C-alpha cells in the first residue's frame, strides 16, 4: 500500500502512523484514554475485581534481597493466592519493603467484561487492540529484567501509579542470554535492579545509549521493536499494554522457531534440575513439540512471509499484521507538527551525570551472598556458554540465512 498524508485525516491516524514508524521511544504525556472501567480509584477497581471474579488470584512474590543476586528472578519466585484487596492491604505494612508482589501479564479478554469496560485503543488508531491487551498490577520495586521482545512494537498505558523505564537501542552491546529461555524474549545478563561492582563498571560504559522515562498515570509510552528495556514500579502500579503485530514479525517467528528447536532438544537431554534452570517457569516441559510438529511449523513459516507462529505470545496476533517503518524521519516529523503542540515527547539519552546517579543508587541494593543457590551445581559453565553462544541473536540470524539458502523446495 502506498501511504500519503491524505491517509491521515485524523489525529488518531497520525498517531498510528507515528507509532508504526517509531525509531526511538516516545511518550504521550497526560494522554487520557478515558476508559470507563478506570474512572474510579485503584482501591475501588480492585474491590470491583474481587466482587466480579469472586476468587483469589495467584500473585508472584519475590524477596528483594533474593532478587539482587541475579536479574533473572523468575525461577526463584514464589506464589501467593490472595484477593486484590488483600494485596492492597499488604502494601500498607512496613514489611512490604522486603519483597515485591505482582499480578503480571494478565489477559484483559479473560476478565469479566465490567472490569475492562471502555478499554479501547482507537484514540491511538488501533481499535483492533481492545481484545488483545494485557494488564500488570504490582507493588513498588516489582521489576522486569532487562530484555527485548522479538515480536511487535509495544504500547504501554500507565493507569495508576508510576513506573521507571530504562531503555537502550537494539545495537547496545548488552550481553544477550537465552537462559532462562522464554519464547519471544531475549534477556541480558546485566542486572539493572542491583548491579554488582563488575556490572556497574560495564553498565557505566553505556551512558550514551541509556534512555529514561518515568511513566506517570495517563501517560502512554511507545517502545519500538527490539529496544532493550528494564522496568521497575516506583509506586503501587497498574498498567495496560498491547504488542502491535507487524508484517516483519514472521522472520522473527522463524528465528524463534530455530531457537526453540535448539533449546528444547538440549533440554530433553538434561536432568530435571538443569531443565528448571534453562527454562523460564512459564515454559512447560510437557508442552515441548516433537520433531514432526516443530518442523511443520518451521516449514509453514518458511512458506508464509506474512503469517503467525503458533506460540503463546504470537497466538494473539490474529489480526492483520501492520506495515512497519514505511515513512522516513522527515515525514514523521511533519506528522508531529500537524498534531496538537506538545502531544509527542521523543525521549533523549540521559545525561552522563543522571545515568551514573541512577546506577549508583541501584548498586546500593547489591548485597554479596555467602553462596548462590540460583545456578545448580550439575549445570556446568560450559553448557551455559554453549547454549548462549549458539543462540545469540547474530548466530541465529546467520542460521536463518543459511536455512533459506539450503532449504529449497
Q: Residues 303, 309, 314, CA angle at the centre, nearest 5°?
A: 150
Residue 284 pLDDT grade (very low, low, confident, very high; cuts 50, 70, 90) = confident
* 301-320 mean pLDDT: 56
How far apart (Å, rounded) are the C-alpha atoms in residues 217 and 103?
18
All three cell numbers of 140: 513498588
* Lowest-pLDDT range of 160-164, 165-169, 216-220, 308-312: 308-312
All three cell numbers of 382: 560450559
User: What are the two backbone dihedrals, phi and then psi, of residue 350, each rounded to the nearest 5 degrees?
Assistant: -65, 155
Q: What tens digit of pLDDT does each residue of 168-214 get?
A: 999 999 999 999 999 999 999 999 999 999 999 999 999 999 999 99
Higher pLDDT, 135 or 304: 135
Interior/surface letters 375-401, b for 16+ CB within 10 angstroms, e for the rest:
eeeebeeebbeebbebbbbeebeebbe
In sequence order, what are the residues at sequence separation of 6 or more whose Cβ sits closer than 8 angstroms to the Cβ of residue 55?
Answer: none
Q: The whole model's pTM is what?
A: 0.92
pLDDT of residue 274: 85
pLDDT of residue 315: 42
Contact 400, 251 (CB under 8 A): yes
Q: At what angle do helices 11-20 and 329-338 cross, to 10 degrees?
A: 150
How far apart (Å, rounded) are the C-alpha atoms in residues 405 and 127?
39
Give domain limits for the chain. 21-246+322-363, 250-321+384-404
Instruction: Give domain 21-246+322-363's CATH architecture.
Output: Sandwich (2.60)
* 327-348 mean pLDDT: 95
Torsion of CA 144, 146, 186, 218, to 10 degrees: 60
* 67-83 mean pLDDT: 87
Q: Is the pLDDT of residue 344 over 90?
A: yes
All three cell numbers of 22: 517509531
Q: Of 343, 162, 165, which is closest to residue 237 (Cα–Cα)?
A: 162
Contact 159, 238 (CB under 8 A): yes
Residue 286 pLDDT grade (very low, low, confident, very high; cuts 50, 70, 90) = low
In sequence order, what are the residues at sequence separation of 6 or more whose Cβ sits closer than 8 angstroms to the Cβ of residue 192?
Answer: 71, 143, 145, 146, 166, 203, 230, 362
pLDDT of residue 273: 84
What residue has cell string 519483597?
99
- Edge-to-edge strand list for the sheet holding 163-168: 176-182, 185-188, 143-149, 228-233, 163-168, 211-215
Q: What tens digit of pLDDT does each residue of 207-249 get?
A: 999 999 999 999 999 999 999 999 999 999 999 999 999 998 9
Q: Is the pLDDT of residue 5 over 50?
A: no
Q: What tens digit of pLDDT does each residue of 142-162 get?
A: 999 999 999 999 999 999 999
pLDDT of residue 316: 41
| DSSP 3-state of 286 | helix
Residue 64 pLDDT grade (very low, low, confident, very high; cuts 50, 70, 90) = confident
Q: Of 172, 158, 317, 149, which is closest to residue 233 (Cα–Cα)?
A: 158
Q: Residues 363, 369, 373, CA angle at the centre, nearest 5°?
A: 115
pLDDT of residue 9: 74
For residue 67, say if its preceding peptide bond is cis, omega within 30 degrees of 0. no
Contact 316, 168 (CB under 8 A): no
Q: What mean pLDDT, rounded, does the chain reach?
A: 89
Residue 129 pLDDT grade (very low, low, confident, very high; cuts 50, 70, 90) = confident
pLDDT of residue 8: 63
- Provide the sign of the torsion angle of the four alpha carbons 157, 316, 229, 64, taken in this order: positive
Q: Of 189, 184, 136, which is closest to residue 385 (Cα–Cα)?
A: 189
Amino acid at each position: 500500500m502506498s501511504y500519503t498524508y491524505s491517509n491521515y485525516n485524523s489525529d488518531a491516524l497520525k498517531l498510528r502512523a507515528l507509532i508504526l514508524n517509531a525509531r526511538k521511544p516516545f511518550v504521550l504525556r497526560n494522554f487520557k484514554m478515558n476508559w470507563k472501567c478506570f474512572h474510579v480509584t485503584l482501591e475501588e477497581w480492585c474491590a470491583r475485581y474481587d466482587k466480579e471474579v469472586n476468587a483469589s488470584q495467584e500473585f508472584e512474590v519475590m524477596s528483594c534481597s533474593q532478587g539482587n543476586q541475579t536479574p533473572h528472578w523468575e525461577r526463584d519466585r514464589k506464589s501467593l493466592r490472595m484477593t486484590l484487596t488483600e494485596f492492597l492491604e499488604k502494601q500498607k505494612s512496613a514489611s512490604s519493603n522486603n519483597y515485591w508482589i505482582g499480578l503480571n501479564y494478565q489477559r484483559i479478554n479473560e476478565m469479566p467484561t465490567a472490569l475492562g469496560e471502555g478499554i479501547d485503543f482507537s484514540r491511538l488508531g488501533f481499535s483492533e487492540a481492545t481484545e488483545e491487551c494485557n494488564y500488570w498490577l504490582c507493588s513498588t520495586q516489582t521489576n522486569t529484567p532487562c530484555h527485548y521482545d522479538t515480536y511487535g512494537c509495544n504500547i504501554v498505558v500507565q493507569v495508576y501509579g508510576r513506573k521507571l523505564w530504562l531503555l537502550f537501542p537494539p545495537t547496545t552491546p548488552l550481553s544477550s542470554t537465552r537462559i532462562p529461555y522464554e519464547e519471544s524474549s531475549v534477556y541480558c545478563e546485566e542486572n539493572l535492579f542491583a548491579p554488582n561492582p563488575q556490572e556497574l563498571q560495564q553498565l557505566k560504559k553505556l551512558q550514551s545509549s541509556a534512555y529514561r522515562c518515568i511513566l506517570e498515570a495517563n501517560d502512554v509510552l511507545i517502545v519500538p521493536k527490539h529496544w532493550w528495556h528494564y522496568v521497575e514500579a516506583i509506586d503501587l502500579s497498574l498498567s495496560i499494554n498491547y504488542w502491535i503485530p507487524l508484517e516483519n514479525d514472521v522472520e522473527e517467528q522463524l528465528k524463534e522457531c530455530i531457537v526453540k528447536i535448539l533449546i528444547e532438544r538440549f533440554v530433553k537431554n538434561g536432568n530435571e534440575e538443569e531443565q528448571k534452570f534453562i527454562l523460564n517457569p512459564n515454559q512447560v516441559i510437557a508442552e515441548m513439540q516433537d520433531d514432526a510438529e516443530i518442523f511443520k511449523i518451521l516449514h509453514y513459516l518458511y512458506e508464509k512471509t506474512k503469517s503467525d507462529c503458533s506460540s503463546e505470545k504470537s497466538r494473539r496476533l490474529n489480526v492483520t499484521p501492520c506495515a512497519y517503518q514505511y515513512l522516513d524521519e522527515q515525514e514523521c516529523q511533519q506528522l508531529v507538527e500537524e498534531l496538537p503542540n506538545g502531544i509527542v515527547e521523543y525521549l533523549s539519552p540521559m545525561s552522563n551525570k543522571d545515568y551514573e546517579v541512577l546506577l549508583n543508587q541501584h548498586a546500593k541494593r547489591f548485597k554479596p551472598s555467602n553462596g548462590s543457590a540460583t545456578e545448580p551445581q550439575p549445570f556446568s559453565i560450559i553448557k551455559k556458554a554453549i547454549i548462549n553462544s549458539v543462540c545469540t541473536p547474530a548466530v541465529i540470524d546467520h542460521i536463518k540465512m543459511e536455512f533459506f539458502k539450503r532449504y529449497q523446495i
